[in-house]
């Protein structure tokens, strides 16, 4: 049974809303406000709208109100700048959940979210799309695709500059063994792959397993794991999010390893930060969620703080800049460790951007629903990356990788986009070559 | 007032993309950062790009007797931009260009929507600063802070906004454009319009361009923190430092409630048994003079039974200022809401004022943490409240009335840096008297005969 939370009863939002002093500090850090320069773009404005709903000054299904409540990346930058500790994430997700409940989900979201609940069907769907992707997407270069005319009918977001990594015909989880064993293991960890690694970036997954095995960690990759639930959560479909969370927790309980490792800021944030919120008051799952929360680590923290880490010795002569994924930095508070790791790789020079923790504009699907604003945010990011003159922009979130890759091409830069574990693996591999 | 015709004309003037009309959008322009004051939803919000559009809007507003409410970033703490009688909110969020930085004349010319900290980063390349630094400088606009005459942490040595405005372009409520001042350091032509328009809280004209005075950024600084067992000793230290002719850039005080709350929240290592602490930073262009000033402060602290610690590294300096910056956030965590006042007294009355606030806190059973700019007598008694508790709200209002009464009885003022707006309107005649109110009404009437510009703010309509 679930107790009344902000997701079930809009009245419970009141005690969250009154914490906001309307000081406006959130405006200085909000990427959406930075582009749109109007009050409704930023947390303070959305909190005021929440209050107006509770005071019956506006209907929750007012068309503009709904648009405004969904015009947010949920990057949580505002929460770091907030002097009163307003729990804006609960507010915005609570409002979205209430709207979704009242209005129902749009047809397309219903179909997609329904698929997510059924991992086997979702997997089949992704693979079917992988075979048919040529219909919608044309080959650009190896592993990259751009929309064909057909897809471009769906909106200006899908112009010829819109690039996507190719969907693998074989998913990552199809290709790895569920148990990758090592001799004298110092730890056993569950690898929570997330959908992006599974379908778009299998090489990140492979490199992760390689790096962990190098460090004598036994890796279990449960084949039947589900989507983390973040994409449905941000659209207000809390029921589906809860279902996915419970299924994942059941799997963790069954496997029962000492740690869960993520390579995606959003997945890590969902598991570590959001599960306890959405399962609050659920007698069967609240405690379990909290228990697993303590075992979730981003790969960089896990390597540096949990196990005895063997730094790679192979030299990579590269200038690297690091982009902070919002969910990794602002939710999981991980930003030092990836930088530390990069600095440990021989030959890498880390050059910081002016605003490394400014959102890239991806926000899950924000870049599809709000293309104009997202593209402007992405452009600032691309320009910031360009001025570092780095060879590689590195990050800890596959969703950011997609957005960064596209923006870099769009604004004419030859910089490569890689995950931190890609660089670690490269260094280990070049070390092996040197030793041969 | 605002009907479809009015809105259509607004769209013609500003372009449809610069006009907000949907109710949900309008709701987000119904407030500023002031707690406990009435709010109202405007009829329309417009974003001007140039002065001609503002003139056209004024002409439209005069014909239809529609009130106009100029607004910066809405960080105001006295209700300045709240559209009390509906009407038009004219938002300067998109009129935010730095027009020129003239490093040789030490000036910057800006549009009103420029954010204060953006101006400071732009001039820092030339080794210059724009000193007014309100707590909200990362968000607040130059135009808004000029209209409110806001202050900040550096007020003791560097003054408030009015000391840094050399000239302006203003659209008067009659639609005329008026420019005064310029880049000359000396300029005594005509009335002193800076004193008239700075702090006029949007009631006398709409500011469209501002010439700011810049100063060289100090090269050296020394920061220290001092603890006292008796609040009287802290107060005397403040007086003695100034008496020794040392003017620190910043001289901040925190009372016991604030110290304990900050320590509890931020764990920065403050002694929780201290009755008061002072944060002091001296700065300047010469190392010797800065060292001398710091030495002098340390001597005085010691003479007054205080224990001091000087920051030796940039990191230690940061940790001192972390404690100060944590004051409001820490207090805000204790109760659901906070009311931050800015009652100000002559600095020799700081101790008496702190004692009075503490008595008021007991009398009305309201938790009040006080911190603020001791050097300039500008205190921030911060009332911690639960807005859902009606009985408490009544006591809060009485406590606030009494805080201002005491401040005035000490020869103080209603506002050190937030302005009057609507929040303190009812106290105004207690400070400037009936003749003061009459004078203000005459000025308002002379410049804004139709009473269309931010009506019912700053100038009381009724006695």
For the ranges A284-293, B318-327, B345-354, the lowest mean pLDDT is seen at B318-327
Chain A residue with Cα closest to B338: A21
Q: Answer whether A48 sits within 8 Å of B74, measured CB to CB.
A: no
Decide if A321 contacts A356 (C-beta within 8 A).
yes
Q: Cβ–Cβ of B332/A62 closer than 8 Å?
A: no
Query: Looking only at Cα atoms, what is the longest distance across chain B?
Result: 71
ipTM, 2 dp: 0.94
Going by pLDDT thresholds of 50, 70 and 90, the confidence category of residue A428 is: very high
Cα A89-A91-A94 angle, rounded to 5 deg? 105
Whether A149 has a pLDDT exceeding 80, the answer reads no
Percent of chain A topping pLDDT 90: 70
Question: Is the Cβ pair B138, A28 closer than 8 Å?
Answer: yes
**Which is higher by pLDDT, B340 or B97?**
B97
Contacts of B31 in chain A (CB under 8 A): 22, 48
Residue B123 — pLDDT band, cuts 50, 70, 90? Answer: very high
Confirm or reject contact between A27 and chain B (CB < 8 A): yes
d(CA B254, CA B371): 4
Residues A185 and A258: beta-carbon distance below 8 Å: no
Size of interface A-B (CB pairs under 8 A): 98
**Of A177, A237, A167, which is closest to residue A202 (Cα–Cα)?**
A167
Distance from CA of A52 to the nearest CA of B (A): 8
Cβ-defined contact of A37 to B388 (cutoff 8 Å): no
Tell me whether residues B25 and A68 touch, CB distance under 8 A: yes
For position B439, what pLDDT does the model report? Answer: 97
Q: What is the average pLDDT across B295-302?
A: 97
Rg over CA atoms, chain B = 23
pLDDT band at A210 (very low <50, low <70, confident <90, very high): very high
Question: For chain A, how are helix, strand and coil distributed in percent, rounded to 5?
Answer: 55, 10, 35
Q: How far apart are CA A276 and CA A7, in angstroms?
A: 13
Highest mean pLDDT among A420-429, B315-324, B335-344: A420-429
**Buried-exposed string B433-448: b where 16+ CB fall within 10 A, e elsewhere:** eeeeeeebeeebeebb
* Residue B380: pLDDT over 90: yes
pLDDT grade for B102, boundaries at 50, 70 and 90: very high
Say whether A314 sits in a helix, a strand or coil: coil
Q: Is A48 on the interface with B (CB under 8 A)?
A: yes
Q: Name the band, by pLDDT with cuts 50, 70 and 90, for residue A3.
A: low
Q: Where are the extended beta strands (E) located within A193-352? A: 217-220, 259-262, 296-298, 318-323, 348-350
Span B193-205, mean pLDDT? 97
Q: In this structure, are strands A392-395 and A416-419 parallel, antiparallel, or unpaired?
A: parallel
For residue B204, give the DSSP letter: S
Q: How far apart are alpha carbons A276 and A261 in whole angstroms? A: 18
**Span A317-343, average pLDDT:** 97
Low-confidence winner among A25-39, A115-129, B32-46 (lowest mean pLDDT): A115-129
Q: Do A65 and B24 touch (CB under 8 A)?
A: yes
| CB A348, CB A420: distance < 8 Å | no
Say what the pLDDT of residue A164 is: 81
- Residues of chain A with Cβ-Cβ distance to B94 below 8 Å are 37
CB contacts, 8 Å: B27 with chain A: 48-49, 52, 57-58
**pLDDT tens digit string along B384-440?**
998 888 999 999 999 999 999 999 999 999 999 999 999 999 999 999 999 999 999
Q: What is the pLDDT of residue A225?
A: 93
The two structure tokens encoding residue A382: 């691309």
pLDDT at residue B392, rounded to an integer: 93
**Nearest residue, CB atoms, B93 vs list A38, A48, A83:** A38
Handedness of CA B441, B444, B450, B453 (dihedral sign): negative
What mean pLDDT comes out for the span B301-305?
97
Decide the pairing of beta strands B220-228 and B276-284. antiparallel
| CB A364 within 8 Å of CB A229 | no
**Per-residue model confidence (pLDDT) at position A1:** 45
A18/B33 CB distance under 8 A: no
Distance CA B334, CA A85 (A): 11
Beta-bridge mates of residue A320:
A350, A392
Per-residue pLDDT tens over the stretch A366-418? 888 888 999 999 999 999 999 999 999 999 999 999 999 999 999 988 899 99
Is there a contact between A25 and B93 if contact means CB atoms under 8 Å apart? no
- Give the separation between CA B421 and CA B39, rounded to whole angstroms: 13
Of chain A, the percentage scoring pLDDT greater than 70 comes to 99
Rama region for B461: left / alpha / beta (φ>0; ψ in -120 to 50; rest): alpha
Alpha-carbon distance of A222 to A233, in angstroms, equals 23
Please name which of B9, B116, B122, B124 lies closest in space to residue B58, comparing C-alpha atoms: B9
Interface of B with A (CB under 8 A): 20, 22-25, 27-35, 41, 45, 47, 73-75, 91, 93-94, 96, 115, 117, 136, 138-140, 328-329, 332-333, 336-338, 387-388
Q: Are B30 and A48 an interchain contact pair (Cβ–Cβ within 8 Å)?
A: yes
Summary mean pLDDT of chain A: 91
Kindly indicate the confidence band of residue B257, based on its pLDDT and cuts at 50, 70 and 90. Answer: very high
Judged by phi (left if over 0) then psi (alpha if -120 to 50, else beta), residue A160 lies in: alpha
**The pTM of the whole model exceeds 0.90:** yes
User: SS3 for B264?
Assistant: helix
B contact test, residue of A19, A23, A64 with most B CBs within 10 A: A23
Q: Longest Cα pair distance anywhere in chain A, in angstroms?
A: 73
pLDDT for A70: 94
Considering only CA atoms, which of A262, A265, A334 is closest in space to residue A296? Answer: A262
Residue B223 makes CB contacts below 8 A (sequence gap 6+) with B279, B280, B281, B310, B311, B316, B317, B320, B321
Encode pLDDT of B165-197 as tens digits.
999 999 999 999 999 999 999 999 999 999 999
Mean pLDDT of A297-323: 97
Structure tokens at A208: 């992760």
Binning pLDDT at 50, 70 and 90, where does residue B237 land?
Answer: very high
In chain A, residues 61-90 whose CB comes closer than 8 Å to chain B: 62, 64-65, 67-68, 81, 83-85
Half-sphere exposure of A20 (CA within 13 A, CB side): 27
Any CB–CB contact under 8 A between A131 and chain B?
A: no
Distance CA A153, CA B114 (A): 39
Nearest to B28 among A15, A37, A45 (CB): A45
CA distances to A47, A179, A236, A354 from A8, in Å: 18, 39, 11, 41
C-alpha–C-alpha distance, residues B329 and B317, integer Å: 19
Which residues on chain B are in Cβ contact (under 8 Å) with A81? 138
Read off the tokens for A361.
């504009």
Chain A residues with beta carbon closer than 8 angstroms to that of B47: 37-38
Q: How many other C-beta atoms are found inside a 10 Å radius of the C-beta of residue A132?
A: 11
Say if residues B69 and B456 touch (Cβ distance below 8 Å). no
Among A19, A21, A69, most B C-beta atoms within 10 A, so best to mutate, is A21
Mean pLDDT of B117-132: 97
pLDDT value, residue B323: 83
**What is the distance in angstroms between the Cα of A304 and the nearest Cα belonging to chain B?**
25
Q: What is the mean pLDDT of residues B88-112?
A: 98
- A366-375: long-range contacts (C-beta < 8 A, 24 or more apart)? A366/A72, A366/A73, A367/A157, A367/A403, A368/A155, A368/A157, A369/A70, A370/A32, A370/A71, A371/A155, A371/A156, A371/A157, A373/A32, A373/A35, A373/A36, A373/A71, A374/A157
Question: What confidence score (pLDDT) does residue B135 get?
Answer: 87
């Amino acid at each position: 049974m679930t107790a009344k939370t902000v997701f079930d009863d809009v009245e419970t939002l009141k005690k969250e809303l009154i914490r906001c002093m309307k000081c406006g500090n959130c405006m200085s850090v909000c990427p959406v406000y930075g582009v749109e320069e109007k009050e409704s773009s930023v947390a303070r404005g959305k909190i005021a709208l929440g209050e107006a709903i509770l005071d019956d000054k506006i209907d929750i299904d007012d068309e503009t109100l709904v648009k405004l409540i969904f015009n947010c990346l949920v990057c949580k930058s505002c929460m770091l700048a907030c002097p009163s500790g307003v729990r804006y994430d609960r507010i915005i997700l609570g409002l979205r959940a209430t709207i979704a409940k009242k209005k129902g989900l749009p047809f397309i979201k219903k179909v997609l979210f329904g698929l997510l609940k059924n991992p086997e069907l979702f997997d089949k769907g992704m693979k079917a799309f992988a075979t048919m992707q040529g219909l919608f997407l044309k080959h650009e270069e190896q592993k990259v695709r751009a929309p064909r005319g057909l897809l471009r009918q769906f909106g200006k977001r899908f112009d010829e500059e819109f690039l996507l990594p190719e969907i693998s015909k074989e998913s990552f989880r199809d290709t790895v063994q569920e148990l990758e064993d090592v001799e004298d293991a110092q730890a056993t960890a569950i690898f929570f792959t997330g959908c992006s690694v599974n379908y778009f970036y299998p090489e990140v997954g492979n490199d992760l397993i390689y790096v962990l095995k190098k460090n004598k960690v036994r890796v279990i990759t449960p084949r039947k794991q589900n989507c983390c639930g973040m994409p449905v959560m941000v659209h207000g479909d809390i029921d589906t999010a809860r279902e996915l969370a419970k299924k994942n927790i059941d799997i963790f309980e069954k496997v029962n390893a000492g740690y869960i490792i993520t390579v995606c800021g959003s997945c890590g944030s969902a598991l570590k930060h959001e599960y306890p919120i959405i399962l609050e008051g659920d007698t069967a799952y609240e405690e379990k969620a909290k228990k697993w929360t303590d075992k979730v680590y981003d790969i960089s923290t896990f390597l540096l703080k949990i196990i005895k880490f063997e730094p790679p010795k192979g030299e990579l002569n590269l200038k690297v800049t690091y982009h902070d994924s919002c969910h990794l930095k602002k939710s999981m508070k991980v930003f030092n460790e990836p930088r530390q790791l990069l600095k440990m790789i021989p030959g890498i020079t880390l050059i910081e951007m002016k605003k490394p923790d400014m959102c890239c504009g991806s926000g899950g699907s924000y870049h599809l629903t709000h293309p104009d604003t997202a593209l402007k945010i992405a452009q600032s990011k691309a320009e910031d990356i360009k001025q570092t003159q780095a060879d590689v922009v590195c990050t800890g979130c596959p969703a950011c990788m997609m957005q960064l890759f596209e923006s870099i091409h769009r604004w004419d830069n030859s910089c490569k986009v890689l995950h931190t574990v890609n660089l670690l693996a490269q260094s280990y591999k070049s070390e092996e070559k040197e030793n041969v | 007032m605002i009907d479809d015709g009015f809105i259509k004309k607004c769209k013609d003037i500003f372009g449809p993309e610069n006009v907000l009309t949907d109710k949900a959008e309008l709701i987000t322009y119904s407030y500023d950062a002031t707690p406990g004051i009435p709010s109202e939803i405007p009829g329309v919000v417009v974003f001007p790009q140039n002065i001609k559009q503002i003139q056209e809007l004024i002409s439209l507003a005069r014909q239809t007797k529609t009130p106009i409410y100029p607004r910066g970033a809405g960080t105001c703490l006295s209700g300045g931009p709240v559209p009390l009688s509906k009407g038009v909110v004219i938002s300067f969020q998109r009129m935010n260009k730095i027009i020129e930085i003239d490093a040789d004349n030490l000036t910057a010319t800006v549009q009103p929507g420029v954010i204060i900290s953006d101006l400071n980063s732009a001039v820092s390349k030339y080794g210059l600063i724009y000193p007014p630094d309100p707590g909200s400088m990362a968000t607040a606009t130059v135009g808004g802070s000029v209209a409110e005459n806001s202050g900040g942490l550096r007020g003791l040595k560097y003054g408030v906004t009015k000391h840094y405005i050399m000239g302006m372009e203003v659209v008067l409520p009659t639609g005329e454009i008026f420019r005064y001042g310029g880049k000359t350091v000396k300029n005594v032509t005509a009335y002193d319009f800076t004193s008239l328009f700075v702090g006029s809280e949007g009631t006398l004209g709409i500011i469209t361009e501002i010439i700011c005075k810049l100063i060289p950024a100090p090269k050296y600084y020394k920061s220290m923190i001092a603890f006292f067992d008796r609040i009287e000793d802290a107060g005397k230290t403040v007086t003695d430092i100034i008496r020794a002719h040392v003017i620190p850039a910043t001289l901040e005080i925190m009372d016991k409630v604030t110290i304990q709350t900050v320590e509890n929240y931020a764990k920065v290592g403050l002694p929780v048994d201290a009755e008061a602490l002072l944060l002091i930073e001296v700065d300047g262009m010469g190392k010797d003079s800065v060292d001398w000033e710091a030495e002098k402060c340390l001597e005085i602290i010691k003479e007054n039974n205080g224990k001091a610690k000087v920051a030796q590294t940039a990191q230690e300096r940061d940790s001192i200022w972390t404690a100060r910056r944590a004051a409001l956030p820490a207090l805000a965590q204790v109760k659901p809401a906070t009311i931050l006042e800015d009652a100000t007294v002559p600095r020799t009355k700081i101790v008496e004022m702190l004692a009075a606030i503490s008595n008021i806190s007991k009398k009305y059973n309201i938790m009040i943490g006080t911190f603020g700019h001791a050097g300039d007598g500008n205190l921030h008694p911060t009332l911690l409240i639960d807005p859902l508790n009606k009985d408490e709200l009544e006591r809060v209002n009485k406590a606030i009335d009494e805080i201002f009464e005491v401040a005035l009885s000490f020869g103080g003022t209603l506002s050190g840096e937030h302005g009057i707006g609507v929040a303190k309107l009812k106290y105004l005649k207690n400070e400037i008297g009936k003749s003061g109110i009459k004078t203000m009404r005459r000025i308002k009437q002379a410049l804004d005969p139709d009473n269309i510009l931010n009506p019912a703010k700053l100038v009381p309509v009724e006695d």
